[in-house]
Amino acid sequence: MMTRHALAVAFVAFVSTGALARAAEPAPETSAKSVLGADAKGENWTVAPAVRSDGFVRLYAVETPYGDFQVNGHRRMSERLQELRALKALEEMSETEVFADAVATAGLAPIRFGRDLVLDPVETTGNLVSGIGNMFDRAVDEVEHAGASRDSFVESIVGVKKAMRELAFELKVDPYTDFTPLRDGLEDIARVMAAGDISVSAATSVIPGGAGIAVSASSRASNLANPIRDKSSAEIAAVVTAKLKALDVDDATIESFLQNTSYSPGDQFAVAEALEVLKAGNSAAFVLRAAEAASADVAKFHRYRAELMAKQSSRLGTLKEFYVVSEFALNRDAGGGLVAAFPFDGLAWTETVSKSLTALSREIATRGETKAPLFVTTGKISAVAEAELKKRGWKIMTLE
């Protein structure tokens, strides 16, 4: 019988000689109706019928009155749809007599909600690979808190940002969203509220049908309402700093994480809170890599991953520490086993997936692991991907 170490050495030789072929499969495609149901079309959006994937996450093409764009990842798509519902509610709010009177009294310009403007989301329509896919591909090749504030001093004083945050939480969206039309709409409505001394309850009560039209059961923004609802972005940064310091994350890494505007303050709070719940050693390794997120979809991926690990730790053998392999902060469980947990929509053995996971497997094989590593994801794994992962020595777990 060969020892585990001998098997690892044999595996490295097997891969390096090219014996383990990359049996790449085409990126899967599904229908918007099958994954979104009735949400494939709304009052102010239409999702293209065909939904592609880059092997890691679904790529949704969306048409709206504010422009056409792409959303990378199913959970991010759910959040974007919630933002579109909220935007529709804000538009209806602006058309009421209460707001028209406030605009006229204050001498403010009419609210346009960014219609006919060119949008600036990172996920431009037509990309075949998400920021998440690019991240995996690249990984193979290689006053205190004032600077973290996203609120202007003047607007904070006159109450616009406070009204903006309260309104966003009422509509269950992130007040610091990267979705330009919603961010501008929230700010414009908040200016009218501040000028006309209109409370959030009064503002939402005038929406035809009530504020409930913008509320979705799948929305996750409400999860953050209690801890950060009444905090400015600088105050949220202070809370995040305290949580990460308690996990022995160094000051430079914390500052780098806070300064990355691919994250909203709410995202940063969610990451810090999840790591606080997880209580894994070497959390700095995760934060350091999260701080390098180059786009909003990658930032959201790090957030979703932190939340996944915190929620599922006990099912995964109790995640005790972060352990870096090929620039990915994986985990060790209570028994010393290696765990790689990722919130993918699904996993197909595309060229990018093959390249990145083969390299990750090769690196693990050189570490002399005594247990087979565990690969965990939240989406369906294709038959080809499952077979290829098993060839590379992985155990597989799919979480619902």
What digits encode the pLDDT tens for the residues 65-75? 988 889 999 99
Which pLDDT band holds residue 140 (cuts at 50, 70, 90)?
low
User: 80-99, pLDDT tens digit by residue?
Assistant: 999 999 999 999 888 888 88
Question: How far, in Å, CA of 205 to CA of 95, rounded?
Answer: 13
Which pLDDT band holds residue 22 (cuts at 50, 70, 90)?
low
**Per-residue pLDDT, 285:** 97
Q: Given a cut of 60, is residue 123 above it in pLDDT?
A: no
Q: Given a cut of 70, is residue 57 above it in pLDDT?
A: yes
What's the average model confidence in pLDDT over 48-72? 93
Give the ranges where 58-152 is alpha helix by DSSP (H).
Answer: 74-94, 97-106, 131-141
> How does the average pLDDT of the chain come out, rounded?
84
Q: Hey, what are 261's tokens? A: 């505007």
pTM for the structure as a whole: 0.84
Q: Given a cut of 80, is residue 353 above it in pLDDT?
A: yes
What's the average model confidence in pLDDT over 20-49? 89
Q: Hey, what are 203's tokens? A: 């503002």
Q: Any idea where the domains of the chain sit in the sequence?
A: 4-27+266-398, 32-226
Which pLDDT band holds residue 358 (cuts at 50, 70, 90)?
very high
- Name the least confident of 111-125, 200-214, 223-237: 111-125
**Per-residue pLDDT, 243:** 97
Q: Hey, what are 46's tokens? A: 């239409």
- Name the least confident of 15-19, 65-69, 82-86, 127-131: 15-19
**Per-residue pLDDT, 98:** 87
Q: How far is CA 27 from CA 55, 196, 344, 353, in A?
A: 6, 53, 14, 10
Q: Which residues contact 230 (CB under 8 A, 6 or more apart)?
A: 162, 165
Question: How far, in Å, CA of 95 to CA of 89, rounded?
Answer: 10
φ and ψ at 397, to 5 degrees? -135, 130
**Per-residue pLDDT, 216:** 47
Which secondary structure element, helix H or strand E, spans residue 47, and what is its range? strand 45-47
Q: Given a cut of 60, is residue 325 above it in pLDDT?
A: yes
Which residue has 């590593």 as its token pair? 373
